[in-house]
Chain A
Amino acid sequence: MKATCWMGKRTVEVRDVPDPQILNQSDAIVRITSTAICGSDLHLYNGFVQPMMKGDVLGHEFMGEVVEVGRRVQKLKVGDRVVVPFTIACGNCWQCRHDNWSLCENSNPNAALAEKALGHATSGAFGYSHLTGGFAGGQAEFARVPFADVGPLKIENGLTDEQVLFLSDILPTGYMGAEMCGIQPGDTVAVWGCGPVGLFAILSAYLLGAERVIAIDRFDYRLEMARDRCRAETVNDETVDSVSETLIEMTAGRGPDACIDAVGLEAHGHGLEYVYDRTKQAVGLETDRPIALREAITACRNGGTISVIGVYGGLVDSFPMGTVMNRSLSIRSGQCHVHRYMRPLLGRIQNGEIDPTVVITHRMPLSDAAKGYDIFLNKVDNCEKVVLRA
């Protein structure tokens, strides 16, 4: 089959690789109809999330048709149309039973590696480094899906691929970012990053009752999407002296009630702080650039909540812990517990409360995946979200 392979830093190639096979009897094999490139794939592309191996198949947002099932699969059958959550979860361990699917205790065969890096292991995930298990991803013609009775969501009505594809990751991720804010009537929520996850966080914050949502980014076309398609007020961080002062002013001196970091470890900024983080990251003294996170903490109102859904990989520097402690801030975070949100969000799509297709700007065949990575990374042609047709 054709599959998008990581061949080294900033190099992906669509190559011929063996077709996937059943490795566990609870697996299904899915013929992929639609898949997408995620902002977090760019962290792999840029070499910030490790360990990767040459030939790793990328991709964790995908859907398609079941073509084979293992002996122990009961709920899925050949021909079913499914969206697959990017985290892999067994459904039976203590964490799965407590709805914390991205913390599944059984799905990561490389748990020992993850423990060394993170203290405790997280769940497996598709196409997302060997730290999350070394599972081949879904920017391919076929994928092996473990725990087929637990993760994949059957799509049985007339919804199109584009309407439901993002249930695999970015829609639940944005929604969880807003949910973690604990939004109360009258709240203002600030969202750093107007990539697809940021846009879904904005839409979700309104769904959950936010009075105002303020979006921050450095690209005007992305701010325009946040304004026009998601009803956010916007701040371009490159045109203001201080994002936090701007936000504090916009909120009559209080600061946003909750701040969502939908940027993560490759944040951009300007001035000395950005130079400091770029330099420390380049020489390995810091793995992640927490510029958006620092701003979010500084801007947030006293007693407010910081919700972190942007990806971090390791260590950050100059973390304003004194601000967090003295101003009673709460930090909530996590890789999305996708399984928790897929079904309710499918309901919201069906009844028209949310239209996930608003983030799509580019559609191309799987064979053009390398081009997709390039234009997405470099924000060419106002790229926001690339969907690949397998």
Chain B
Amino acid sequence: MLHVLKSISVNRPRHEVYEFWRNFERLPGFMIHLEAVTVGGNGRSHWVANGPAGRVEWDAEMTEDRAGEVIAWRSLEGSDVPNGGTVRFTDAPADRGTIVQVDLHYDPPAGKAGAAVARVFGEDPSQQLRDDLRRFKQVMETGEVVRSDGSLAGAGQGATNQRPAQPVEVRVRS
């Protein structure tokens, strides 16, 4: 079982930050490996993650949901990647906004699929989650994932995916 724990502070009120995260369908907007999340009834949701190594899917159910405080979920039987997570929202001291703490665990299966999953979730899951949270903070505080010419897709490009700091020829979606 792989386990990753990261937190970030967001300069927005706690309930607003919780509400944004509570709508799982928004998560692909800042979690780079997620392609889509579809929310069904009864706290169920369907997750599709994608990466250079391939596509994995799973169904999940919410196991805990306390408004403004905590959201937890776990994948259901038959998932490509058994996984679960908890997000906690607390007030930071004084005027420091909201602390968002994400606790993820997943169980990459053995074999070819396992290797693919590991790559889908990144070479360094801890760094990837940190960059996901950075994009989340940008969306909450500025309304968008911040892009540059060097890092067109925003935070998390790393050194290897940099392009020159020069405008691109092709039209970029925005």
Contacts and interface: CB of A to CB of B under 8 A. Distances in A.
Contacts of B138: 90, 106
Contacts of B112: none
B148 A134 contact: yes
A130 B152 CA distance: 12
Nearest to B156: A112
Given A92-B141, A127-B165, A21 B147 contact: no
A144 B164 CA distance: 15
A213 interface: no
A270 to B, nearest CB: 37
B170 to A, nearest CB: 9
A209 interface: no
Contacts of B158: 112-113
Contact of A109 (B137, B143, B154, B164): B154
B115 interface: no
Contact of B147 (A23, A53, A137): A23
A106 B141 contact: yes
Interface stretch (A12-20, A236-244, A284-292, A295-303): A12-20
Interface in A210-252: none
Tell me what chain A mostly uses at the interface: helix, strand, loop, or mixed: loop
Interface in B108-140: 127, 130-131, 134, 137-138
A170 interface: no
A110 B157 contact: yes
Given A90-B141, A97-B11, A134 B174 contact: no
Contacts of A144: 149, 167
For the side of the interface on B, what is the size category?
A: 35 or more
A5 B166 contact: yes
Given A23-B147, A56-B166, A94 B11 contact: yes
Contacts of B167: 17-21, 57, 136, 144
Contacts, number: 139
Q: Which of B127, B148, B174 has the most CB of A within 10 A?
A: B148
A105 B130 CA distance: 13
Contacts of A57: 149, 164-167
Interface string A157-169: 0000000000000
Interface residues of A, number: 45
A127 B157 CA distance: 18
Contact of B162 (A20, A106, A130): A130
B171 interface: yes
B127 to A, nearest CB: 6
A51 B171 contact: no
Contacts of B163: 53, 134
A56 B164 contact: yes
Interface in B5-52: 9, 11
A70 to B, nearest CB: 7
Contacts of B68: none
Given A23-B172, A93-B141, A109-B147, A134 B162 contact: yes
B124 to A, nearest CB: 10
Contact of B148 (A18, A22, A55, A135): A135
Nearest to A146: B146
28 contacts: A18-B167, A20-B167, A21-B168, A21-B171, A23-B172, A25-B174, A53-B162, A56-B165, A57-B165, A90-B142, A93-B11, A106-B141, A106-B146, A109-B146, A109-B148, A109-B154, A109-B155, A130-B165, A133-B151, A134-B148, A134-B149, A134-B151, A134-B163, A135-B150, A136-B165, A136-B166, A137-B165, A146-B146
Interface of B: 9, 11, 95-97, 127, 130-131, 134, 137-138, 141-144, 146-152, 154-159, 162-169, 171-172, 174
Interface of A: 3, 5, 17-26, 51, 53-57, 70, 72, 90, 92-94, 97, 105-113, 124, 127, 130, 133-137, 144, 146-147
